[in-house]
Structure 1
Amino acid sequence: MITPRVAGPEDAAELVRLRRLMYLAMNGRDEPGSWERAAQAAARRQLAGSDGRLVGFVVEADADGGTPGAAGPRLAACALGTIDERLPSPVNPTGQCGFVFNVCTDPRYRGRGYARAATEALLGWFAEQGLSRVDLHATDEAEGLYRSLGFTEHATPLSLDLRRWREARAG
């Protein structure tokens, strides 16, 4: 049985390593840079806070009986999320909405159910917080996982990349 644990500030470097692998899998380019240091600092700060802004669940690299402390990554998979607060509405009386992101499994550990276990733990945490809605953006490769967990299309799928919007207006 896979037992994810809550991510802590000490996991920041590994979470960013997995995030970099996620982007590599999504666009085929490895893009190291200063964003990694900024992401580590933000993860450390937010995971240490008591405001619940960022929560994560991770699966240790030795979760399936491997050798603890062996050379290699410390984390095999993760799922991170935040709670956004909007104005309450008839369909969302609390105004709170969960958002899942940074679901990633190190390629060496894929196909073992780690991403599913971490995501299910995150969804359980959202449910414990009383949320009635959780959103995410899925890649084609991950769509099957999310659909199997019950995710469906939302009624308002539009979004805007403000960087592109600013560039278009400036040009």
Structure 2
Amino acid sequence: MPSLVATAAGRATASSVKVLPKTAASVLPRGRVKGVGRHREPVTCDALTCEASGVTDELDGIRIERAVPEDAFVLAAMTLRWDLEGGSPRRAGFIDEFAEAWLAQGNARPAWLARRADGDPVGFAIGILATSLPSLRRPTGGWLHLSSVYVVPELRGSGLGERMLRQVIDWAADGGLYRVQLNATDRARSLYRRVGFGGPQDTLMQCVLTDRLPTS
């Protein structure tokens, strides 16, 4: 079976949203996605951290880059892997569904992929970009909500999640955004604090419409 990365490359472009192949799910192996399934029996993990992972010097050669349209199926497969780890049932056509939705939203859904030197995907982050309209009362800018941050199990606790977050924050600052926000799991809070996240300002309020808030 061809590599997920090799199969995905060139199949999804900004102009191909309406003609994504109906068999895109076939690029995802039944058991494991290349580079996502090599477990080392980590202890008590979530999507970013482990109490004990035994990872040493494994970040050498890993690069973190902005995802491009050709990465749509890679992001879809990594998201599927994460969902299955959490116990979600498979759904036919999910790979196509995710790739099409991400491509359709364009620049409003910036994403980052972490890859080994051989192209193997080992982590990703996806955000939702909100930009403010011109105003005389406040500077023009916007904010980024990180909806997904994931590291493969064998690299949790290695520092890769922190590297990804710092790169996202640098991108947001360079782009003139004034806030990056996310929903934090209890286990990942210490990581988020290390890179600069804290409690919201007193002026920030929300109206919760569901009893199950998403987590990053």
Question: What is the TM-score normalised by the length of structure 1?
Answer: 0.71
CA-based RMSD: 2.9
Q: Aligned with 2:165: secondary structure? A: helix
1:91 Cα offset (Å): 9.0
**Residue matched to 2:112:** 57
Q: Aligned with 1:144: secondary structure? A: helix
- Contact residue 141 and residue 178 of structure 2 kept, 8 A: no
- 1: CA distance, partners of 2:206 / 2:66: 32
Gaps spanning 5+ residues in structure 2: where? 1-59
- 2: CA distance, partners of 1:163 / 1:36: 27
Q: Alignment identity in percent?
A: 30
- 2: CA distance, partners of 1:157 / 1:140: 20
**Residue matched to 2:46:** none
1:44 Cα offset (Å): 3.0
**Residue matched to 1:113:** 159
Name the structure with the higher helix share. Answer: 1
- Higher mean C-alpha displacement, 104-113 vs 125-134: 104-113
- 2: CA distance, partners of 1:21 / 1:144: 24
1:17 Cα offset (Å): 2.6
Q: Count residues in correspondence.
A: 149
For the pair 1:158 / 2:206, whether they are aligned, the reply is: yes
**Cα–Cα, structure 1 residues 42 and 163, in superposed 2: closer, same or farther, change >3 Å?**
farther
**Residue matched to 1:131:** 177
> Which residue of 177, 184, 194 maps to 1:148?
194
Deviations 1:4-40 (Å, cap 9, x if unpaired)? Answer: 1111122222212322344455xx3133225543221
> Which residue of 52, 59, 73 maps to 1:13?
73
- 1: CA distance, partners of 2:193 / 2:151: 18
Q: Partner letter of residue 72 of structure 2?
A: A
**Residue matched to 1:169:** none
- 1: CA distance, partners of 2:112 / 2:156: 16
Question: What is the TM-score normalised by the length of structure 2?
Answer: 0.58
Gaps spanning 5+ residues in structure 1: where? 165-171
- Contact residue 84 and residue 90 of structure 2 kept, 8 A: no
- Higher mean C-alpha displacement, 15-24 vs 98-107: 15-24
Q: Aligned with 1:4: secondary structure? A: strand
